[in-house]
Amino acid sequence: MPQIVNLRVLLSFAGHPASSLKPSSSVPPLPLLFRPNTFSIRTRSLAVFTAFSSYSRKQRKYSRPLNLTRRNNSSLRETGKREKDSSMEETTTQTQSVGFNKRRAEGTDKSDRPKKVLPLKDRRLNPVNTISYVQIMGTGMDTQDTSPSVLLFFDKQRFIFNAGEGLQRFCTEHKIKLSKIDHIFLSRVCSETAGGLPGLLLTLAGMGDEGMSVNVWGPSDLGYLVEAMRSFIPKAAMVHTHSFGPSPGSDEVSILKARKFADPIILVDDEVVKISAILLQPQSPDEYKLEKGNNSLPLTTDLDREVRGNPDKSAELAVKPGDISVIYVCELPEIKGKFDPKKAAALGLKPGPKYRELQLGNSVKSDHQNITVHPSDVLGPSVPGPIILIVDCPTSCHLRELLALESLRSYYGNNSGNSEETSKVVSCIIHLSPSSVTSTIDYQKWMAQFGEVQHLMAGHEMKNIEVPILKSSARIAARLNYLCPQFFPAPGFWALQHPSGSAPGFQELSEVPDSKLFRSVSAENLLKFHLRPYAQLGLDRSGVPSLTSHSEIIDELLSENPEIVDAAQQVAWFWHEDKQLKEDTISMVKNNTMIEDPWLNGNTLPGCLEDISREDMEIVLLGTGSSQPSKYRNVSSILINLFSKGSLLLDCGEGTLGQLKRRFGVEGADDAVRRLRCIWISHIHADHHTGLARILALRRDLLKGVPHKPLLVIGPRQLKRFLDAYQILEDLDMQFLDCRHTTEASLEAFESNKGESPSGSPNQDIDSTLFAKGVRMQSYWKRPDGPINSGIVLSILKNLKELLKEAGLETLTSFPVVHCPQAYGVALKAADRINSSGKLIPGWKIVYSGDSRPCPEIIKASQGATVLIHEATFEDGLVEEAIARNHSTTKEAIEVGDSAGAYRIILTHFSQRYPKIPVFDETHMHKTCIAFDLMSVNLADLHVLPKVLPLLKILFRNEMAVEDVDDIVTAASVAN
C-alpha cells in the first residue's frame, strides 16, 4: 500500500464540541462531523446479510474507524494497542476519528506515479509466424458511438488501429490482454477514434512494478491531443507518441505543399510486417479552385457536381486540425518457396548449416563444386505476402482525395491497367468509412478497382445494433430487468431485435449498384481474416458472438434460480400496493404522524414527494465503477433526467455516450444529448471526464444548423486547460465555468454585486478549512494562470441562472471535498412548486459527493437531502486503503447520509474488485440502495427503493465472491 503521510485527524466527542480538521493552527474549527450516536456500536450481534458479506479471500472483521496520527513521516499507524475484533463489536465508543491522505488531497503524493520514463515492451520477433490474422474489435458497433478498432495479431506482436471509447472494457470482456499491445495507430485524431486512448495509457502505466507503455502513431494532429492530455496524464506515460505528415497548424498555402506526403510514410518495417501510412486530406476551397479552375472543366464525380451546385459545400471543405485521415497499408513478407534437398545435393551441398542459410535467403558456396548456390536454385516459387488496407474516409470531402491518390495505384488489380510485375495483390480491405460514404457510387467504383479482394465493411451499420458487444453486462441488465423493471428498464438494444436478423432500414451492400464487382461482407464483432498459415487465408467467423435474445437470458436465469420468480412477484407487489401506501403516507404527513413502516425505519416521507409526478425527475446511473471500466460496471456518470425540462450530467467518464445509447437506444440517446443543459465534472481524474469530448462533439453535430447556445460545462480549472487544448482539434461548442465560482460563498458574492463585476476573488470569503487561503490543498491560490476575468464569469453565471430556471431548478451549488486538488461535490435544489390544491410544495434536493473521504462539507450540503449519491469505493474492512486513496467505505458513506438526515442514500463508484455487487451489511440498509449501471430511480419510487435491495441477494447469491483484482484496481491509480 502506498505510504500515507501528514494525516489530519477529525474527532467527535459525545456531549462535547467537535475538534477541527487543522492543516494549520490558524484554521477555524469545523462544524460537528458526525452525531455522537452515529458511531455507537450496538451490543447485539451483527446480523450480517449473507449476500453482501461473503468476503472470499479477503475476509476482514468490521472495526470502528481508526484513530489516526502523524508519526515520523511514515506510513499509517494506529495509536494505542489494537483490541481484539470480537471485543470491538461490543464496545460503545465515544471518540472516533476519520483520517485522510493529506498529500494525495494536495496533489503531492507521488507514490502511484511513474518514477521514470515508462519502458516499451521488449519482444523477440518470430519471422516465421505460425499464426497471424486481423480481427474486428467491435467497439461502438452496437451503440454507434465510436469507431471500431482493428487488431493485427502476430505470435510476438500486437497492433491496434484506433482506440475509441470502450476499448479497455471490450478487451476485458473478450480476454484481450492490453499488456500484449505494442503499437496503437490512429486513423484520425478525434474523440471518435481516440476517446479511449487516455484511459488506456493510464492503465498501462499502472501495470506491473514499473508500468508499461506503447508506441502511439497518428497524423500530425496527434500533437494537439498529446498536449491536451498532459493536463491529467503523467508525461512519462506519453513519451512514445509519434506523429507524421505536415506540421500542425499549417495554413492553406502550406497545406497545398503537403502533397509531398502523398507517398506512403513507412512507420514500422521489421522482419514480421511493414506498416505504411498514406495521408488523406479534404481539399480547402482555394485548393479546389486551383485544381478545377473554371466551371468549364468536366465534372468527374458526384462530389464535384455537388460542390459546384452548392456554395455552402465548398465552405465546408476548409482544412482544419483533426481533418487529416490515414490509410494504413500492412504488408507481410513473402512466403519463401519450399526447400528442395535433392536440388541442393545435385549442386554439391552437404546437409547442414548451409541449408539454413539458403532458406533465410543467403547465397552459399558449394561444398563439392566451384560454384555459388543461390536461394532461387534450391527453393520453389515464393508466395507474395498478404497485404491489408485499413481505410478511413470519413466524409465526402475526403472521398475526392481518395479517388485521386496515385500512391494506391500499385495496389489496384490487373483490370485497372497494372501489369502483373508492378501490381501488388491485396488480400483484404477493412473499411472504417461510414455507410453514408461507402454506399455512394464513386466509392463503390473505387472498391471495384482492387479486383478479387475481400472487403470488410466496418463502418456504422444498423445491422450490428442488435448484438451487444458487452454480453456480460447485457446479461446482468436483463436479469435485473426481470427482477425489477421499474428500477432497471430494458436496455435500448433489446427493442431493436427482429426475427429476420436485420434492423429496419438496413440495406445490404449487395443491393447497392456495382457491388457485384467485388466481394464484400458486413464486418461483425470479433470477425477474423486469417493471414498465416497461408492455407487458412480468408474469413473466420468462429469467434463471432451469436445473437442472444432477452427471453433466452431469462430462461437461463429461471433454470439456474427458480426462487427469482417469487422475488420478482414480491417486487411487483411493492408497486401494486403503492397507491394505498402513498395515500396512507400522505395522510400521516398531513397529520404529522410518524410512519411505522419498518423499511423506512422511522423516517417520514419528505414534503417534496407529496403529489410527485413521474415526469418530475429521474436519476439514471450510467456508470457505477471506479478507476477504469470493467465487464459489469462502467466508470462514473449520472444523468439527472428532468424529462421535458432537459437533463444534466454529473461526471462523464469514458463510455458515457455508449451507456446512454444502451439505456435509451441510439435515437433516444441522441435526443438526450440534444436536451442536455449542463455537464458538471467533480475532479480531473480520468475516470470522471474522458467521455466529455465525445458527448460535446455529438451534440455539436446534432444541433448543427439549429439555433442553440453552447453547452455549459462546470468543472475544476484543470479541466478547462484540457478542453482549451483539445478544442484545437475539434470545436466542442461549449462554455466553461470553474466549480469554485459555483460554491455557496462565490454565488453569494456575485449576487451581492447585483449584476456588476465583483472586486477581488470570489473565493476570499470561503469558510472552509479544506480549501482556505494558505492551505496547500487549494491549488487555486498558487495557480499561474493570472487574474480572473470577472466580467466573463458573471456573464456565464447569468447564463447558469437562466438555464437552471428553465430546468425547474433553484440552485446548483458546488462544495469542496477531500480527495485531490480541486475536487468537488454538488447539490441540486429544485424550485418549489404549487400543487393542485394551491399548497406550496418544497423542491427536492439531490447531492452527489464525487470522490471523497467523509467530510463536513458533504454533511452540510446534504442537510435534508432527498437523495444523497455517495461514493463507496471500498468495503468496511478496507478502511486503511480507503484512507490511503481518499475514498470512502460503504459504512462511512451511509453514516454521512445519516448524519445529514438524507431521506435516501444511493451508493456508487465501487472498486472493480467487486465484479457485480459489493460487500454490504444488512444493518445499514434501512434507507440505502446500491447502484448498478443503467439503473433508473424515479423520484416517485424513492419510498420503495430500500425494499428492493434485500431481494438482490437472491439474484446474485451464487455470484458474490470478491475478485482478487489488485492489479486491475491499482492499474489506473497513476491518474490520481
Half-sphere exposure of 478 (CA within 13 A, CB side): 21
pTM of the model: 0.81
C-alpha gyration radius of the chain: 31
Confidence of residue 756 (pLDDT cuts 50, 70, 90): low
Which has the closest alpha carbon to 331: 261, 425, 255?
425
Q: Quick one: pLDDT at residue 245?
A: 87
Question: What is the rounded CA–CA span in Å between residue 367 and residue 104?
Answer: 72
Give bridge partners of residue 520 from the DSSP assignment: 455
User: Sign of torsion, CA 639 641 645 646?
Assistant: positive
| Mean pLDDT, residues 454-458 taken together | 95
Per the CB < 8 A criterion, the answer to whether 911 and 969 are in contact is yes
Separation between Cα atoms, residue 423 and residue 756, nearest integer Å: 72
* Rounded average pLDDT over 295-311: 45
Range 595-599 contact pairs with CB under 8 angstroms and sequence separation of 24 or more: 599/926, 599/946, 599/947
Please state, in angstroms and rounded to a whole number, the distance separating the CA atoms of residues 160 and 5.
41
What percent of the chain stands above pLDDT 90?
49
Among residues 352, 356, 351, 358, the alpha carbon closest in space to that of 372 is found at 358
The band of 260, judged by pLDDT with boundaries at 50, 70 and 90, is low
Q: What are the grid coordinates assigned to 784, written together?
A: 499561474
Determine the pLDDT at residue 87: 31
Taking the C-alpha atoms of residue 651 and residue 201, their distance in angstroms, rounded to an integer, is 20
Residues 646 and 674: their CA atoms lie apart, in Å, by 9
DSSP per position, 649-704: EEEE-TTHHHHHHHHHHHHHHHHHHHTEEEEE---S-GGGTTTHHHHHHHHHHHTT
pLDDT at 300 over 90: no
> Omega before 533 cis (within 30°)?
yes
Q: What is the pLDDT of residues 925-968, one digit of tens each?
A: 789 999 999 999 999 999 999 999 888 888 887 665 444 444 34
Strand order in the sheet with 824-830: 809-816, 824-830, 845-848, 867-871, 904-908, 928-930
Instruction: Give the separation between CA 198 and CA 190, rounded to whole angstroms.
Output: 12
Per-residue confidence at 424, pLDDT binned at 50, 70, 90?
Answer: confident
- 924 against 682, higher pLDDT: 682
Alpha helices in 469-549 (DSSP H): 471-483
At 815-847, the pLDDT tens digits run 999 999 999 999 999 999 998 888 999 999 999
pLDDT of 701? 95
E-strand spans in 766-866? 809-816, 824-830, 833-834, 840-841, 845-848
According to DSSP, residue 865 is labeled -
Q: Which of 820, 823, 841, 824 is nearest to 832 (CA)?
A: 841
Higher pLDDT, 753 or 456: 456
Q: Which residue, 239, 173, 159, 237, is CA-closest to 200?
A: 237
SS3 string, 591-609, reads CCCCCCCCCCCCCCCCHHH
* Closest listed residue to residue 39, CA positions, set 60, 20, 67: 67
Q: What is the predicted pLDDT for the residue at 715?
A: 97
Q: Give me the mean pLDDT over the 66-70 stretch.
A: 33
Residue 363 to residues 378, 790, 821, Cα–Cα distance (Å): 10, 78, 66
Residue 598 has pLDDT above 50, yes or no: no
pLDDT surpasses 90 at 442: yes
At 292, the pLDDT band (50, 70, 90 cuts) reads very low
Backbone phi, then psi, for 527, in 5-degree steps?
-65, 135
Give the Cα separation of 95 and 435 in Å (integer): 66
Q: What are phi and psi of 492, to 5 degrees?
A: -60, -30
**Strands of 88-238, DSSP E:** 95-100, 132-137, 149-154, 158-161, 183-185, 215-219
Distance CA 429, CA 168 (A): 25
Backbone angles phi, psi at 651, to 5 degrees: 70, 155
CA–CA distance, 544 with 552 (Å, rounded to integer): 18
Q: What is the DSSP letter of 142?
A: T
- Has residue 256 got a pLDDT over 50? no
Q: What would the pLDDT profile of 844-883 be if each residue is shown by its tens digit?
A: 999 999 999 999 999 999 999 999 999 999 999 999 999 9
Lowest mean pLDDT among 259-273, 378-392, 589-603: 589-603
Q: Residue 305, class by beta-carbon neighbours within 10 Å (0-12 exposed, 13-18 middle, 19+ buried)?
A: exposed
What is the full DSSP assignment across 914-945? Answer: SSSS----GGG-SSEEE--TTEEEEGGGGGGH
Output phi, psi for 785, to 5 deg. Answer: -80, -5
Asked whether residue 551 carries a pLDDT value surpassing 70, the answer given is: yes
Read off the pLDDT of residues 332-364 as tens digits, 9 standing for 90 and up.
988 888 888 999 999 999 999 999 888 888 899
DSSP state of 118: P
Indicate the pLDDT class of residue 237, thresholds 50, 70 and 90: confident
Query: Residue 388 corresponds to which cell in the numbers above?
Result: 491489408
CB 700 within 8 A of CB 732: yes
Is residue 70 pLDDT above 60, yes or no?
no
Residue 789 burial (CB count, 10 A): 10
Residue position matching grid coordinates 438526515: 901
Q: Rank 30-39, 83-92, 398-407 by mean pLDDT and report only the highest.
A: 398-407
pLDDT of residue 451: 87
Give CA–CA dist 129/127, Å, rounded. 6
Contact call for residues 162 and 138 (beta carbons, < 8 A): no
H-type helices in 872-920, by residue range? 879-884, 890-900
Distance of alpha carbon 942 from alpha carbon 936, whole angstroms: 11
HSE of 210, CA atoms in CB hemisphere, 13 A? 8
Better-predicted residue by pLDDT, 391 or 423: 391
Question: What is the per-residue pLDDT across 659-683, written as a single tens digit (0 to 9) for each?
Answer: 999 999 989 999 999 999 999 999 9
DSSP letter (8 states) at residue 537 = -
Single-letter amino acid, residue 270: D
Asked if 688 and 652 touch (Cβ cutoff 8 Å), the reply is: yes
From the number of C-beta atoms within 10 Å of its C-beta (0-12, 13-18, 19+), residue 546 rates as: exposed
Rounded CA-CA distance 151/162 in Å is: 9
CA distance 781 to 768: 14
Which residue type does 661 have? K
The stretches of 737-787 forming alpha helices (DSSP H) are 744-752
* Residue given cell 466551371 in the structure block: 295
The pair phi, psi for residue 862, each rounded to 5°, is: -95, 5
With CA atoms as reference, report the closest residue to 228 among 203, 248, 205, 246.
248
What's residue 100's pLDDT? 87
Residue 333 is classified by DSSP as P
- 891 has a pLDDT exceeding 70: yes
Closest-CA residue to 712 (of 806, 617, 571)? 806
How would you classify the pairing of strands 845-848 and 867-871? parallel
Specify the DSSP class assigned to residue 23. S
What per-residue confidence (pLDDT) applies to 970? Answer: 40
Q: Give the helix/strand (H/E) hosting 446.
A: helix 441-448
* 244 beta partners: 219
pLDDT of residue 135: 96
Instruction: For residues 594-602, give the mean pLDDT.
Output: 41
Residue-wise pLDDT tens digits, 572-595? 998 877 656 556 655 555 555 544
pLDDT attached to residue 92: 31
For residue 132, is pLDDT > 90? Answer: yes
Q: What is the pLDDT at residue 969? A: 40
pLDDT for residue 804: 97
Mean pLDDT of all residues belonging to the chain: 78
Confidence of residue 754 (pLDDT cuts 50, 70, 90): low
